[in-house]
């Protein structure tokens, strides 16, 4: 097995201290799905009454676990629920064997945790096209069920990692109507990230009360400007899944509550940004802000064209303030643009305006901005009021090294 990857230079100092969420317990185990020296299976048990919302990859080749989860959303939540996640194998592009694996795992979990099989959600992440050795996972279910306890969210985050170099978590506590409400989330994602829904895998838990349809509406809305506004390498995974679980243990109904929505948004943004900071081989965290488009959607189209451009991303890796590559990306996006109205800035440095390099621009100023580990690239199109912000990372030699050896 290849040596562990060095921790991303953009990683936070430590895993955050997250609030415990009443109504959810976690356990992890080593099933040896692919990895032999670490945990690779996570089980979460949710109390009866838990509402579950989700968004998933729109890939046309999405995996059997994704299809199964999509089919189960919105069902009766009067009984408990469970989530089981394995890393190392995505159970994608495995034909009818993929569905068989899902059925075997969900049936075993349902029997051991005493919940309906319709309330068991699974996810698999890792190599595509190899049958999932689900019998190894099933062999660990008794152990997992016996070990379930609250406060194990960091261990859960570690168990779902693949090429991630650090476990990802974010949380919030707020007061609603004089009572405390808690939110805690974990994520995994490092490569194959241009989500088209979420990142690779995200699980967010709250003790709030929220009816499923309202929870789903809120999640779908916030997803557009968080997990659906990041990209590492422009590739959409077959396995992207995001579940938001509201246990209701606090007794506080948050449907339509703006403060809760704002807190959840911050948690989702934090997790999304951590995925970018752990982009395979990343050394730069890049915010791309586009204004002046004819619509918000057109602004996002331009922003993602810039964020996904290999030429832009390699220039950033090389600390080269090459605004010509930004102009190129705008021109190819397909959204409306006028060359002679463009304004481009790197950080606070005005690089180009009215379709030409700024008279005050000095190359050393642009280079100084590119040497920073966190970079803001701003574009104003001069066409309207549309705006969007997305986040990405640079593209380095290490990305090629990681992915050239991924199945080895």
Active-site position among 28, 199, 238, 247:
199
H/E stretch holding 102 reads helix 95-113
* Distances in whole angstroms, Cα of residue 253 to Cα of each of 51, 55, 204, 248, 288: 12, 22, 17, 8, 36
120-127 sheet: strands from edge to edge: 24-29, 41-46, 81-89, 120-127
C-alpha–C-alpha distance, residues 179 and 176, integer Å? 5
How far is the C-alpha of 198 from the C-alpha of 200, rounded, in Å?
Answer: 7
Q: Is 217 annotated as a binding residue?
A: no
> Cα(97)–Cα(91) distance, rounded to whole angstroms?
9
Strands 51-56 and 41-46: unpaired
- Between CA 39 and CA 59 the distance in angstroms is 28
Number of other residues whose CB lies within 10 A of the CB of residue 177: 11
Label residue 196 exposed, middle or buried (CB < 10 Å: 0-12, 13-18, 19+): middle
Q: How far apart are CA 232 and CA 237, in angstroms?
A: 12
Is 61 labeled as ligand-binding? no
Q: What is the DSSP letter of 8?
A: P
100 among known catalytic residues: no
Whole-number Å distance between alpha carbons of 3 and 317: 24
Provide the token pair at 141.
Answer: 């279910």
Provide DSSP, 250-296.
T--B-TT-HHHHHHHHHHHHHHHHHHHHT-TT---EEEEEEEEESSH
Name the β-bridge partners of 204.
185, 244
Gap between the Cα atoms of 38 and 165, Å rounded: 13
**Residue 149 assigned to a binding site:** no
309 contacts 329 by C-beta, under 8 angstroms: yes
- Confirm whether residue 283 is marked as ligand binding: no
199 has binding-site annotation: yes
User: Does 280 count as an annotated binding residue?
Assistant: yes
Cross-strand partners of 127: 89
Catalytic residues: 199
Task: Specify binding-site residues for substrate.
Answer: 162, 188, 199, 280, 403, 408
């Amino acid at each position: 097995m290849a040596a562990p990857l060095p921790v991303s230079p953009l990683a936070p100092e430590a895993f955050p201290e997250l609030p415990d969420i009443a109504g959810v317990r976690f356990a992890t185990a080593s099933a040896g799905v692919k990895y032999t020296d670490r945990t690779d299976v996570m089980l979460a048990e949710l109390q009866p009454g838990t509402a579950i919302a989700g968004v998933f990859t729109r890939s046309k080749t999405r995996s059997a676990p994704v299809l199964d989860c999509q089919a189960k959303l919105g069902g009766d939540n009067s009984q408990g629920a469970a989530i089981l996640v394995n890393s190392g194998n995505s159970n994608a592009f495995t034909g009818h064997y993929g569905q068989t694996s899902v059925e075997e795992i969900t049936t075993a979990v349902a029997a051991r945790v005493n919940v309906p099989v319709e309330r068991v959600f699974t996810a698999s992440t890792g190599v595509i096209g190899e049958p999932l050795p689900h019998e190894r996972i099933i062999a660990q279910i008794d152990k997992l069920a016996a070990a379930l306890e609250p406060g194990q969210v960091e261990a859960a985050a570690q168990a779902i990692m693949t090429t991630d170099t650090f476990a990802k978590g974010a949380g919030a506590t707020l007061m609603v109507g004089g009572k405390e409400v808690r939110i805690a989330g974990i994520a995994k994602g490092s490569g194959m990230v241009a989500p088209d829904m979420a990142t690779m895998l995200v699980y967010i838990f709250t003790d709030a009360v929220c009816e499923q349809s309202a929870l789903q509406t809120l999640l779908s809305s916030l997803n557009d400007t968080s997990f659906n506004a990041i990209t590492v390498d422009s590739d959409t995974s077959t396995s992207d899944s995001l579940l938001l679980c509201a246990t209701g243990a606090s007794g506080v109904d948050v449907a339509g509550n703006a403060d809760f929505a704002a807190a959840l948004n911050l948690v989702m943004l934090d997790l999304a940004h951590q995925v970018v900071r752990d982009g395979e081989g990343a050394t730069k965290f890049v915010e791309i802000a586009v204004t002046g488009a004819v619509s918000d959607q057109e602004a996002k189209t331009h922003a993602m064209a810039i964020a996904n451009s290999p030429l832009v991303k390699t220039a950033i890796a090389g600390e080269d303030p090459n605004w010509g590559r930004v102009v190129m990306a705008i021109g190819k996006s397909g959204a409306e643009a006028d060359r002679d109205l463009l304004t481009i800035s790197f950080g606070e440095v005005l690089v180009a305006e009215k379709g030409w390099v700024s008279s005050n621009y000095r190359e050393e100023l642009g280079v100084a901005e590119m040497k920073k580990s966190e970079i803001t690239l701003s574009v104003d199109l001069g066409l309207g009021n549309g705006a969007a912000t997305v986040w990405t990372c640079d593209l380095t030699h290490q990305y090629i090294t990681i992915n050239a050896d991924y199945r080895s």
